Amino acid sequence: MTTKLLLERTCDIANKYLDGVRERRVGSLAEFGPLVQSLGGSLAAGPTEPLQVIEHLAETASQGLVATAGPRHFGLVIGGVLPAALAADWLASTWDQNAFSFVLSPAATAVEEVVRQWLLELLGLSPEMSMGIVTGGTMGNFTGLAAGRHMLLARAGWEVEEQGLFGAPEFAVLTSDESHMSVFASLQMLGLGRSRVTRIAADEQGRMRPDALREALSRLTTPALVCAQAGNVNTGAFDPLDAIAQLVHDAGGWLHVDGAFGAWAAASPALRHLAHGLSLADSVSVDGHKWLNVPYDCGFIFVRDQNAHQAAMMLEAAYYAPPRTPARANHHWVPEASRRSRGFAVYAALRSLGRTGLAELVERCSRLAQRFAERLSAAPNVRILNDVVLNQVLVRFEGANADARTAAVIRRAQDDGTCWVGGTTWHGMHVMRVSVSNWSTTESDVDRSAEAILRCAAMERS
Ligand SMILES: Cc1ncc(COP(=O)(O)O)c(C=O)c1O
């Protein structure tokens, strides 16, 4: 079997999956043990024909696949994959380019510079900002906070990358009460401690309160690393970034903004007012695999002070061949050395959408979230708990025991398989979360999903 035939057969398998993904049950009912058993067993002593391997993998994995590439997965914040991005990602694997450096891949390096410029313009950020393409929002937060840590300690005369934190001058870390868990995970990895932070109170929509931040800053005797967010993971609400930036900078601090999905609002003329002040941040983390709808894994970190960014990610060795002519050094901006050339898929997504296509994608998903909220809240005893400003909807099924009822409706909806929605706790209440982030979701997908959810709710009542 030639590689050509293998890839053609694999392409057929992929196309068959994509043809069916719209009508496939969305969640998987597979159980871990049986799945491991059917995929595994002892490894054959000798080789197996590649096509046999792929056909077995495709057939066996199928039951354990979740249709996140389809239009009705509304859990977490999950994007799909734009066709151009998928195709470019196939090429990235085929070309097997290491995005580490120009010498290893001039094309991967040039494409990162191109998407840096495009993304900064689309998001209304300074064209001077440095950019790293990381695995996602978590590593984006990690990298931005590492740059902030560098800067605050460098100003105090301390080289944290050389000396570590042993005996370092103190600085404060302020997060919102509503910061995403990945901010705390990043702080934990940076030696800044997840519990040592001061959490600033948020309002009823989950927005950091500037008055509370002002008060916390006024009590400090050290500089502060402040983490705000554009897009609360539950409500989609934006921290008042302009007011926050002013306070942080007046106090000589570093402002990091977690804009995993919400930062894309800045690419829409109709929604960019929500992200007002984003351009004032010192570092901004944004996900690619969520709302930009490129394949996993992909995220971006943008940093205003290129020196701080580069110093925090310093990675040099004598055998890293330098380019013969000046070029972007991809490895200066990310925690990894060797890595996938994620830039190709980003390039293809942005080029295929264009400026208007990206704005339309963000606006369409936000309109569909409104529609979801309207459809669900038209039914008795269904309450929408958030202002649906973006793509997130929080739903509560009220009644005698609303927490248990909401949890039961979520379970039923997941079992039903028409769509997939998850749950969370919001202000002490169990709620259903709906996130509309997939490029292929239509009005009829929303109507069909809302009907399925309401059917589940009706069954729960009876
Ligand atoms: C606001 C926010 N920040 C960070 C993340 C983490 O992103 P990732 O899962 O890409 O690491 C998420 C994921 O949902 C998010 O919603």
DSSP 316-377: --TTSPPPSS----GGGGSS-SS---THHHHHHHHHHHHHHHHHHHHHHHHHHHHHHHHHHH
Residue 242 in this model has a pLDDT that exceeds 90: yes
293-325 burial, b at 16+ Cβ within 10 Å, e below that, comes to bbbebbbbbbbbbeebbbbbbeeeeeeeeeeee
- Please indicate whether residue 258, judged by its CB atom, sits closer than 6 Å to ligand 1: yes
- Please indicate whether residue 237, judged by its CB atom, sits closer than 6 Å to ligand 1: no
Tell how far the Cα of 324 is from the centroid of ligand 1, in angstroms. 38
Are both 407 and 428 inside the same structural domain? Answer: yes
Residue 462 in this model has a pLDDT that exceeds 60: no
Are both 243 and 313 inside the same structural domain? Answer: yes
- Please indicate whether residue 233, judged by its CB atom, sits closer than 6 Å to ligand 1: yes
- Please indicate whether residue 143, judged by its CB atom, sits closer than 6 Å to ligand 1: no
Is there a domain that residue 187 lies in?
yes
Mean pLDDT of 228-239: 98
Query: What integer best gives the mean pLDDT of the chain?
Result: 97
Is there a domain that residue 76 lies in?
no
Are both 406 and 305 inside the same structural domain? Answer: no
- Please indicate whether residue 182, judged by its CB atom, sits closer than 6 Å to ligand 1: yes
pTM: 0.97
- Please indicate whether residue 260, judged by its CB atom, sits closer than 6 Å to ligand 1: yes
Is there a domain that residue 146 lies in?
yes
Are both 150 and 192 inside the same structural domain? Answer: yes
Please identify, by atom number, the ligand 1 atom nearest to the C-alpha of residue 287.
10
Q: pLDDT band at residue 188, thresholds of 50, 70 and 90?
A: very high
Tell how far the Cα of 301 is from the centroid of ligand 1, in angstroms. 13
Which protein residue has the closest C-alpha to ligand 1 atom 5? 137
The CATH number given to whatever domain includes residue 441 is 3.90.1150.170
- Please indicate whether residue 185, judged by its CB atom, sits closer than 6 Å to ligand 1: no
d(CA 414, CA 387): 25
Is there a domain that residue 366 lies in?
yes
Is there a domain that residue 73 lies in?
no
Are both 327 and 371 inside the same structural domain? Answer: no
- Residue of 141, 287, 300 with the most ligand 1 atoms within 8 Å of its CB, for mutation: 287
- Please indicate whether residue 256, judged by its CB atom, sits closer than 6 Å to ligand 1: no
Residue 461 confidence (pLDDT):
66
pLDDT digits (tens, 9 = 90+) for 275-325: 999 999 999 999 999 999 999 999 999 999 999 999 999 998 888 888 999
Are both 211 and 318 inside the same structural domain? Answer: yes
Residue 238 confidence (pLDDT):
98
Is there a domain that residue 234 lies in?
yes
Which structural domain range is residue 50 located in? 3-68
Is there a domain that residue 277 lies in?
yes
Tell how far the Cα of 140 is from the centroid of ligand 1, in angstroms. 9
- Please indicate whether residue 75, judged by its CB atom, sits closer than 6 Å to ligand 1: no
Last residue of some domain: 68, 100, 123?
68
Tell how far the Cα of 144 is from the centroid of ligand 1, in angstroms. 14
Residue 422 in this model has a pLDDT that exceeds 90: yes
Tell how far the Cα of 163 is from the centroid of ligand 1, in angstroms. 30
Last residue of some domain: 291, 324, 349?
349
Are both 344 and 369 inside the same structural domain? Answer: no
Please identify, by atom number, the ligand 1 atom nearest to the C-alpha of residue 139.
11
Are both 161 and 32 inside the same structural domain? Answer: no
Are both 282 and 300 inside the same structural domain? Answer: yes
Is there a domain that residue 82 lies in?
no
pLDDT digits (tens, 9 = 90+) for 121-168: 999 999 999 999 999 999 999 999 999 999 999 999 999 999 999 999
Residue 193 confidence (pLDDT):
96
- CA-based nearest residue to 59, from 121, 16, 6, 118: 16
Are both 258 and 173 inside the same structural domain? Answer: yes
Last residue of some domain: 34, 68, 102?
68
Are both 60 and 42 inside the same structural domain? Answer: yes
Are both 233 and 165 inside the same structural domain? Answer: yes
The CATH number given to whatever domain includes residue 304 is 3.40.640.10
Residue 27 in this model has a pLDDT that exceeds 60: yes
Mean pLDDT of 199-220: 98
Number of independent structural domains in the chain: 3
d(CA 21, CA 390): 26
